[in-house]
Amino acid sequence: MTNHWRDIKNTDLILINGANPAEAHPVGFQWFMRAKLDRGAKMIHADPRFTRTSAVADMYLRIRTGSDVAYFGGLINHVLQNNLFHDAYVRNYTNASFIVKDGFTFKDGLFSGYDPAKRSYNIASWSYETDPATGFAMRDKALQHPRSVFQLMKAHYSRYTPEMVSSITGIPAADFNKVAELVGQMGRPDKVMTIVYAVGLTHHTTGGQLIRSGAVLQLLLGNMGRPGGGMNAERGHANIQGNTDHAISWEILPGYLKIPAPGQKTIADYVAGSAPKKSDKNSWNFFGTNYSKFMVSTLKGWFGDAAKKSNEFAFDLIPKPAGNASWMTIYDQALKGKMEGLVLSGMTAASIGPDSNQVREALGNLKWLVVMDALPTTSSEFWHAPGVDASQVKTEVFMVPTTHWIEKDGSFVNSGRWSQWKDQVLPPEGQARHDHWILADVFQRVKKLYQSQGGKFPDPILALTFDYKDPLKPELDEIAKEINGKDLSTGKQMTSFALLKDDGTTTTGDWIYTGSYLDSGNLMKRRQGVQDVKANDPTGMGFFPNWAWSWPLNRRVMYNRASADLDGKPWDASRPGITWNGSRWVGDVPDYPPTMDPHDPAAWLPFIMNGEGVGRLFSNGMVDGPFPEHYEPVESPVANPLHAANSASPVAFLYDKAAGRPDRFGTAADFPYIATSYRLTEHEHYVTQHVPKLVQLQPKPFVEIPDELAREKGIKSGDHVRVSSKRGKVEVLALVTKRLGAMTVAGQKVYQIGIPIHWGYVGLAADSDPTHGRYWMANALTPFVGDANARTPEFKAFLVNLEKM
Amino acid sequence: MPTVTRREFLKVGAAGAGALAASGLGFDVALAESNRVKQKLRIEGAKELHSICPYCAVGCSLVAYTRTNSDGTTQLLQIEGDPDSPVNEGRLCPKGATAMQLAVSPRRVESPLYRPAGATAWQKISWDDMLDKIARNIKASRDATFVATDGNGNTVNRTEGIAFAGGAAFSSEEGYFATKLMRGLGLVHLEQQARV
């Protein structure tokens, strides 16, 4: 989230796409309801399924899954064609005025630079025309230049007429126009809208662009950086945010520093290849300017005395991947026989998918599998799953019993970036051990093996810092201090990442957390909440600055310089983010130098983290286009109404095809119905299959079937049905409902089926079933393909057949 | 109502909960119920600790009550929403409200288990033997798949044949520690729930 849960109460209009907060994040949803009840905010829910969120929304739009780029595109077009954008914000706080190089084109669904053989773009033409004297981007503040971002995007989105939006999304044009009218009012400085989304947007081959299209709309309306505004991702797991920040992710190091690439030999090479570049004289480019300081301080923290100026701070000790190494790649490599071992911690590959049957085959192709978990999972038990001959599975499997969240302290970071410390409530159960103690112990044993036997390049293993009182049992408090970082010359904790250096005299574990743990103590433990609202929320905006700690630097709304006008006054005096009081910025922790006078001709532009200094309506940071464009899901019953020749994403990576394996995609001829998967209130992923009360509340797997389709098929609620895709099948109960319905898409009648994901062959429900949940895994159906940028699987849109059993 | 703080409100009990339910929030019956249970169970000597809900990322604060038994063991008496939190103000959903059944479960894995290649059942194994085997596997796979220099002559120092995935239920500090150790082993296949 750019903002945070409680902030949603400050909004005038809530757009909810790819999410069902009333059921999936019910306690966070109270702030949506407060906005509605206390300030008359409107709520618009676009979703394939009518849910409890829809039930309290002012408008519900039945949208075809995976078509939200067209929905947002239509709204962008409405705002541009009718001049409803926030004029001063767009001219001064976005790159609308930047001029794009001659040679950039978009035709028949393809941007310039496409290479069909490689299925990728050369993005050289997706950049700005620069002033040869300064190297900075050319701008036209009048927004009239035909190659200005503003004019290019106006032309790009002119195709997204209400009729085209209706054809792609299935939303009736009249309903869409009502939404457009409401959204169009949000460009007024005294109005603010929030966009809230969840994995219903990310789980598509166009996932990155689905979210970007919302962000573009928010920039046009001047809603980024403002209380009550922003792009707000509702995350599904307790600490998915914290562990993204801390980079359990192939492509980054902690704090969103890029993983170095082969060919980079020095810190300077690395920064040149990774850091944003300043493209306007008033851009601070804070991230780019400080990239080497963050990286060197991280290396110094990790490799200690072995990281010296003379050896580029041990830059060679960081692994440089050959290419993508994300979730699906792991199993793809295992299928190719190139992955020997896998460690899963609190995460079950067998259920998570996509294409669970193929993933199970991949697990059976490993030499060894380590499952660290408190409870059995479908991965720890995959080798004797129903229908599997265990004697034929050659993988060596370890089940390592770990402690639960309540048996250890440490922080959880919520969707709103609030890092909240928790106590250790209970001692470890039985023989269970903490995950970090297990990892520390294994690491020390590996280190001993290298010391006694030698082996390949032991240098990083020997050099890695282990400055803990007990190297086998590091305390989370010690690690939290390490993450914050310290000044090696004084021994004091760093107070801000702005003070980190690239000369080897400072350390950090994750620069965005610098400031969370000071010499005075751990700020994540702070508890000044609603027990005294007046004292603890002095601005009344819901920031609660002394409750826990929020990255970066305890800032509660990111990009908050953009909440104030050019003079430093809030766009809406009733909802200030930060305000220039004549000598300093007050309110939230400013995302800006605290004493920089906005009237100074050299004052920095508002978006200090990127090279432009302004929000990017046009960006070369995506591999599938500088403007979001609608592409069909890889499995779709219709051709793309915008460009049938390039119907699906031209750059989504096709694993099976690239590996020479048989095609695993189906077509509408065999699999005529659209399916989407989702979560229920009473379960979280798969772990709750072990919680008796929750299993009682939602005992059995089912699929939701629109009643009209059920009538055609002679299916009644409670019947057993088989849902199959090219990849597998589920055999579960039918729930016939009016919450789903027929739609007209590209002139065709289509049906969408809904599949909750929570069941498999492990848990209380499976234990009581005669088949032991053999065909209960929703992800047996989902396709092994993902977003062109992030490779997030397309769990949310695929084709199936439906049969009564 | 507006003058009553959340903490005071909780002490009001069922009548207050009814008034708030009438405001249309709909979360208050469970709250009143948990409050009633808390009063019944919260006995002399209960220790009040703070946690965060282990499920979604709203980040609801929890209050956990424990008691130390005469045999030295710790008993978890009750988990409920923390009324002081600006995030949840005491409220919990069905998952958070049943967090006790995740915290204390007869279904926990009791001890390390090992299943050799082709075996048809789990075998018990000591921690020491298990950690030794895992360490030896890691070293063997690392040595077998380590690439020091790629085809273009670049120093890359990567372990290609081991992957690590997980962490959405870790404390942040554990997650950071896992990243540091896995990168230290040279891993490039590093992944977690955010992707999927």
Convert the pLDDT of each residue in A704-722 to its tens digit.
999 999 999 999 999 999 9
Q: What is the mean pLDDT of residues A168-195?
A: 98
Q: Which of A392, A393, A531 sits opposite B5 (nearest CB)?
A: A531
CATH code reported for the domain at A5-227? 3.40.228.10
Chain A nearest CA to B184, separation (Å): 5
CATH number at residue B66: 2.20.25.90
Q: Which of A412, A449, A531 sits opposite B7 (nearest CB)?
A: A531
Residues B85 and B134 in one domain: no
Give residue-wise pLDDT tens across range A531-567.
999 999 999 999 999 999 999 999 999 999 999 999 9
What is the domain extent for residue B91?
6-103
Residues B11 and B96 in one domain: yes
Closest residue in A to B94 (Cα–Cα): A682
Give residue-wise pLDDT tens across range A223-247.
999 999 999 999 999 999 999 999 9
Which residues are paired to A15 by β-bridges? Answer: A44, A195
Token look-up 């010690």 returns A478
- Round to whole Å and give the CA distance between A705 and A739: 9
What number is the ipTM of this complex? 0.98
Give residue-wise pLDDT tens across range B29-62.
666 666 665 555 555 679 999 999 999 999 999 9
Is residue B109, in this structure, part of any structural domain at all?
no
Residues B58 and B16 in one domain: yes
Residues B142 and B76 in one domain: no
Amino acid identity at A678: Y
Give residue-wise pLDDT tens across range A597-613.
999 999 999 999 999 99
Cis peptide bond upstream of A354, omega within 30: yes
b/e map of A62-85 (b: 16 or more CB within 10 Å)?
bbbbbbbbbbbbbbbbbbbeeebb
Residue B12 confidence (pLDDT): 43
Is A3:A28 a contact under the CB 8 Å cutoff? no
When divided into structural domains, chain B yields a total of 2
Following DSSP, what letter does each residue of A260-294 receive, concatenated? P-TT--SHHHHHHHHS----STT---HHHHHHHHH
pLDDT band at A16 (very low <50, low <70, confident <90, very high): very high
Tokens of A634: 């890889």
Q: Does A240 touch chain B (CB under 8 A)?
A: yes
Give residue-wise pLDDT tens across range A57-105.
999 999 999 999 999 999 999 999 999 999 999 999 999 999 999 999 9
Fold of A644-804: Barwin-like endoglucanases (2.40.40)
Amino acid identity at A118: K
Residues B84 and B33 in one domain: yes
Q: What is the mean pLDDT of residues A302-320?
A: 98
Domain residue ranges of chain A, discontinuous segments joined by + = 5-227, 644-804
Closest residue in A to B196 (Cα–Cα): A792
Is residue B122, in this structure, part of any structural domain at all?
no
* B13, pLDDT greater than 50: no
Q: Which of B60, B104, B161 sits opposite A339 (nearest CB)?
A: B161
CB pair distance less than 8 Å for B145 and A239: no
Residues B49 and B135 in one domain: no
Is residue B114, in this structure, part of any structural domain at all?
no
Preferred mutation among A3, A25, A27 to probe B, highest tally of B CBs within 10 A: A27
- Round to whole Å and give the CA distance between B27 and B21: 7
Q: Is the dihedral of CA A82, A85, A86, A90 positive or negative?
A: negative
Q: What is the mean pLDDT of chain A?
A: 98
